[in-house]
Amino acid sequence: MSRRASRSAAVLLALVDAAIVAAAFVLGYFLRFQLLIGVVTPEMAPLRQYLEPLGLVVVVFLVVLRARGLYDAQLPGAWGVEIVERTLGATTLSLVIVLAATFFYRESTYSRSAIIYAWAIASVFLPLPRLLLASRRRRRRRAGLDLEPALVLGVPESIRELVSRLQDRERFGLDVRGIVVPNESASAAPPGLEVLGRASDLAAIVRERGIREVLIACDLGKEDLLRAIAACEALEVEPRIVPAVYDLVVTERDLTDEDGVPFIAIRERRFEGTSLALKRAFDVLSSLVLLVVTLPVLLASIVAIRLGSEGPAFFSQTRVGEGGCLFRMWKLRSMVVDAEAKLASLVDLDSLKEPVFKLERDPRVTRVGAFLRRTSLDELPQLWNVLKGDMSLVGPRPEEEKVASRYDAHQRRRLKAKPGITGLQQVVARGSASLDERVRLDILYMRRRTFLFDLWILARTVRAVLSGRGAR
């Protein structure tokens, strides 16, 4: 998107926001004084009293929304939940400012309930235009439109994974046209990309190829780095440095500046205190309700399993939980009784390149079990694990002990959170057999998890289960 188009979109979005905020406060007035919802005292207030400060209220909202980056060309988040979270935070901060201002304005008093109604309405409607813009942006990128021509400056051997990830045009919005290598580097490029030249030729390559973004992903010397940045700035091209620790999933909250020295704080256990208590309370209440609601389905499944094959209806297995602690995870049996004994004849764990496997057509799965797996009903007994505290509703999937024992230091990072019945991997890449992708999504969840993020994953899980996508 061009700078002019970005500015036009931001102005249009601000006008829509202004209309939403104004309408929210007017509607809040009518809910309080006309419909008398939540009325404690029946006194009336003239509408004019609420219209007079409305211009200032709108300005407060627009300033806070801008400060939170909600008019930037690149709206936050790949899935929309971050847009909702950031907009909700901005709306709440704006409300606090408006409420604080009412205490200092002595000529009139304002109904707190009317303001709360306005906040609720604005919280629902302010994210909508941004979600529509984000959806439109994804569709256009999927069609190959609005992509920024880019190149990556780096050592080919060390940027293969990064370049591969940047090929996801829908998420990153980049058309990576090739790589530029440091002057002293070899010239072998990752598959599908060509080496456009060396760092000393950067300015000429940018002009020739119509590049708009340069991603610097190598440890250049200070002088070489400054020359690369100067070349980009002279051509009005945005240079962006990709740190070597990008796979640690660095977020805004990790970045600090002390007297001009930038620091990246890696705190993968930041989800603590009140948030952890809220998550646990939600897990307990939800698992209790779901156990009661799904009891008829569970009983019917038990009967079907017993009629369909010999053996018990339940299956338990030792899994690795938070911090490497072991626990017994329960499922409805979907395989033959001696399934674990038959695994050795199907998979040689010692010969696997990475400690993960997923059989496309597992001969051990029973006919009833196939249905249970396709509908995820075999996971119902894990609600008991959630109630006990071994698991959570949302988190990384718990792995078998023999598989987790082969994890390297990077892969063991996924054990820093309590395992869940569902997780980000289940709704974004359900059925993926790539351990790297699983670990990346698990770490992304741990670094960015919020209560709203959990609710979003649960909602997407329902959609994924109903569609049967990726189920085996």
Segment 407-451, tens digit of pLDDT: 888 888 888 889 999 998 888 876 655 777 788 888 888 888 888
Mean pLDDT over 309-333 rounds to 91
**Which of 52-61, 349-358, 436-445 has the highest average model confidence (pLDDT)?**
52-61
Q: Where are the beta strands (DSSP E) in 182-241?
A: 195-198, 213-216, 238-241
Residue with tokens 């075999």: 378
Find residue 215's DSSP bridge partners.
Answer: 152, 240
Q: Which percentage of the chain shows pLDDT scores above 90? A: 28
Count of CB atoms situated within 10 Å of the CB of 99: 14
Mean pLDDT over 218-236 rounds to 83
In this predicted structure, the answer to whether residue 327 has a pLDDT above a threshold of 90 is yes
In this predicted structure, the answer to whether residue 20 has a pLDDT above a threshold of 90 is yes
pLDDT of amino acid 338: 77
pLDDT of amino acid 395: 92
More confident residue, 87 or 426: 87
Count of CB atoms situated within 10 Å of the CB of 384: 14
Mean pLDDT over 146-164 rounds to 83
Instruction: Tell me the CA distances in angstroms from 462 to 371, 376, 468, one per residue in order.
Output: 16, 10, 10
pLDDT of amino acid 68: 86
Q: What is the pLDDT of residues 264-308, one digit of tens each?
A: 777 666 666 778 888 999 999 999 999 999 999 999 999 999 998
Task: Give which of 444, 43, 145, 50 is closest to 268, Cα–Cα.
Answer: 444
Domains, the chain, in order of start with CATH, read: 3-139 (no CATH), 147-244 (3.40.50.1980), 274-467 (no CATH)
pLDDT of amino acid 351: 64
pLDDT of amino acid 352: 63
Q: What is the pLDDT of residues 28-50, one digit of tens each?
A: 888 877 776 666 566 666 777 77
Q: How does residue 160 score in pLDDT terms, banded at 50, 70 and 90?
A: confident
In this predicted structure, the answer to whether residue 365 has a pLDDT above a threshold of 90 is no
Local structure of 362: helix, strand or coil: coil
In this predicted structure, the answer to whether residue 95 has a pLDDT above a threshold of 70 is yes
Question: 422: alpha, beta or left, given left = phi > 0 and alpha = psi -120 to 50?
Answer: beta
How far is the C-alpha of 151 from the C-alpha of 202, rounded, in Å? 10
The model carries a pTM of: 0.76
Provide CB contacts within 8 A for 435, sequence distance 6+: 354, 355, 356, 411
- Burial label for 152, CB within 10 Å (0-12, 13-18, 19+), is buried
In this predicted structure, the answer to whether residue 366 has a pLDDT above a threshold of 70 is yes
> Contact, 437 vs 360, CB < 8 A?
no
Q: How many CA atoms lie within 13 A of 282 on its CB side?
A: 15
Provide CB contacts within 8 A for 362, sequence distance 6+: 335, 346, 472
How far is the C-alpha of 393 from the C-alpha of 445, rounded, in Å? 13
Provide CB contacts within 8 A for 302, sequence distance 6+: 313, 332
Residue with tokens 């490029």: 189
- Residue 392 DSSP label: E
DSSP one-letter string for 137-163: HHHHHHTT-SPEEEEEES-HHHHHHHH
How far is the C-alpha of 107 from the C-alpha of 288, rounded, in Å? 51
Task: Give which of 389, 178, 195 is closest to 283, Cα–Cα.
Answer: 389
Structure tokens at 345: 């004849």
**Per-chain mean pLDDT for the chain:** 83
Local structure of 326: helix, strand or coil: strand
Residue 215, phi then psi, degrees to nearest 5: -100, 115
In this predicted structure, the answer to whether residue 12 has a pLDDT above a threshold of 60 is yes
Sheet holding 399-400, edge to edge: 326-332, 314-320, 399-400
Torsion sign over Cα 178, 184, 190, 192? positive
Torsion sign over Cα 64, 67, 70, 72? positive
pLDDT of amino acid 127: 93
pLDDT of amino acid 270: 60
